Amino acid sequence: MSKNPRVAVVGATGAVGREMLKTLEERNFPASEVVAFASAKSAGVKLPFMGGELTVRELKEDSFIGFDLALFSAGGATSEKFAPLAAKAGCVVVDNSSAWRMDPGTPLVVPEVNPDDLSWHKGIIANPNCSTIQMVVALKPLHDEATIKRVVVSTYQAVSGTGQKAIAELEAQVSQLFNGLEVEPKVYPHQIAFNCLPQIDVFLENGYTKEEMKMVLETKKIMGDDSIQVTATTVRVPVFYGHSESLNVEFEQDLSPDEARMLLSRAPGVTVVDFPEKKAYPMAIDAAGQDDVFVGRIRRDETIAHGLNLWVVADNIRKGAALNAVQIAEVLLKRNILRVPK
């Protein structure tokens, strides 16, 4: 492509959509134009962008004519219907929903891990689940060195991952409880304020939630290695921004905590914060608003031959969603593959 791409942001009024606009602006993404789309109810809403305002348009079937790139974050149903229409109109889609992630014809990409998978895109590229993204960014440099056999992950996930309504629900519940009022959960099945919910998304027949199985399946696809065993427990916690994860990793070969720290400190997109003597470790409140994946509490699992424990934190709306999508678009541009193959 010789000219700068025309970019559609679909779901622009949502938590991730707003962050996508911010990320395009902050990274000075070379767009010839950025247009914001959402549902009919948001048509006409103004969103701040580049010192001015964008007027939100209603997403329609013919919305993608004349666009080169669409960043989708409007839920699975919208992606299922509109992403193929966009690709048909010659517009490459980077989709944040789970609709296309496990489709064998759709690359699932984290630029620090598997950028080369972008070479076989057919017009739609899937952005992985937020908790999977930060986990694989931390695991990849360790896997390359010592080959991961198994990962046991427990997550502590912020409400922003559920969208604007969930952010509002936590805010409302905190204030209701302080004022002695009853809370009425709407977004989550139970009270989220001052609570932890060991359920993210729906339960499946095997007793795991959909979120847990996303971490299992997406990790194998992104890492390009079906032999990596992952077992997950995903938990929603009353935090606004930033997912935290406890990882227990078993390797084929020995890897000392010092070697892991060295590998991670050289890895793209990773910052190591691991000074227990100074009480310094990654925390959601520090990761919020940051681009990197933060890793700390690196120590041996003393119960197995080759095992490490890690604590991994990232801003789920940025690296877990908007930033990863924009980074994908940047690689497409750099490699001159921002086009739908004929």
Q: Which residue is nearest to ligand A2P (CB)?
A: 14
Burial class (CB in 10 A: 0-12, 13-18, 19+), 170: buried
Count of residues engaged in binding ligand A2P, rule: CB under 6 A: 17
Q: What is the DSSP string of 4-51?
A: PPEEEEETTTSHHHHHHHHHHHHTT---SEEEEEE-GGGTT-EEEETT
- Minimum separation from the CB atom of position 329 to ligand A2P (A): 19
Q: Which of 9, 15, 135, 237 binds ligand A2P (CB under 6 A)?
A: 15
Q: Are strands 69-72 and 57-58 parallel, antiparallel or unpaired?
A: unpaired
Restricting to residues 189-218, which ones interact with ligand A2P according to CB under 6 A?
A: none
Using CB under 6 A as the binding rule, whether residue 14 contacts ligand A2P is answered as yes
Question: Count of alpha carbons within 13 Å of 46, Cβ hemisphere only?
Answer: 5
* String marking each residue 224-263 x if it binds ligand A2P according to CB under 6 A: ----------------------------------------
Alpha-carbon distance of 147 to 307, in angstroms, equals 11
Alpha-carbon distance of 238 to 39, in angstroms, equals 28
Q: Is 130 a catalytic residue?
A: yes
Judged by beta carbon, residue 42 or residue 132, the one nearer ligand A2P is 42
Restricting to residues 129-168, which ones interact with ligand A2P according to CB under 6 A?
A: 163-165
Query: Which of the following is catalytic: 121, 130, 143, 306?
Result: 130
Pick the stretch among 72-80, 213-221, 225-233, 301-309 that binds ligand A2P (CB under 6 A): 72-80
Pick the stretch among 14-22, 180-188, 275-283, 318-326 that binds ligand A2P (CB under 6 A): 14-22
- Minimum separation from the CB atom of position 211 to ligand A2P (A): 15
Restricting to residues 77-96, which ones interact with ligand A2P according to CB under 6 A?
A: 78
Q: Is 243 a catalytic residue?
A: yes
Alpha-carbon distance of 237 to 232, in angstroms, equals 16
Pick the stretch among 37-45, 267-275, 295-303, 315-323 that binds ligand A2P (CB under 6 A): 37-45
Query: Which of the following is catalytic: 91, 121, 143, 243?
Result: 243
Contact 209, 202 (CB under 8 A): yes
Q: Which of 6, 25, 49, 75 binds ligand A2P (CB under 6 A)?
A: 75
Alpha-carbon distance of 83 to 89, in angstroms, equals 10
Long-range contacts of range 21-26, CB-CB < 8 Å, 24 or more positions apart?
21/47, 21/48, 21/49, 21/54, 22/322, 23/318, 23/322, 23/323, 23/325, 23/326, 24/326, 25/49, 25/50
Contact 234, 285 (CB under 8 A): no
DSSP, res 77: H
Residues in CB range of 44: below 8 A, 6 or more apart? 55, 56
Pick the stretch among 13-21, 125-133, 242-250, 294-302 that binds ligand A2P (CB under 6 A): 13-21
Using CB under 6 A as the binding rule, whether residue 38 contacts ligand A2P is answered as yes
Alpha-carbon distance of 100 to 328, in angstroms, equals 15
Strand stretches in 284-323, DSSP E: 293-300, 307-314
Q: Which of 11, 242, 282, 320 binds ligand A2P (CB under 6 A)?
A: 11
* String marking each residue 294-323 x if it binds ligand A2P according to CB under 6 A: ------------------------------
Judged by beta carbon, residue 13 or residue 219, the one nearer ligand A2P is 13
List active site positions.
130, 243
Q: State the residues that interact with ligand A2P by CB under 6 A.
A: 11-15, 17, 38-39, 41-42, 59, 74-75, 78, 163-165
